[in-house]
Amino acid sequence: QVQLVESGGGLVQSGGSLRLSCAASGSIFRLYAMGWYRQAPGKQRELVAAVTSGFMTNYADSVKGRFTISRDNAKKTVDLQMNSLKPEDTAVYYCNQGGPEGCWGQGTQVTVSS
* Cα–Cα distance measured from residue 105 to residue 109, given in angstroms and rounded to the nearest whole number: 12
Whole-angstrom distance, CA of residue 109 vs CA of residue 9: 5
Q: Which tens digits make up the pLDDT trace of 59-94?
A: 999 999 999 999 999 999 999 999 999 999 999 999
Model confidence pLDDT, tens digit, residues 100-109? 999 999 999 9
Q: What percent of the chain shows pLDDT beyond 90?
A: 96
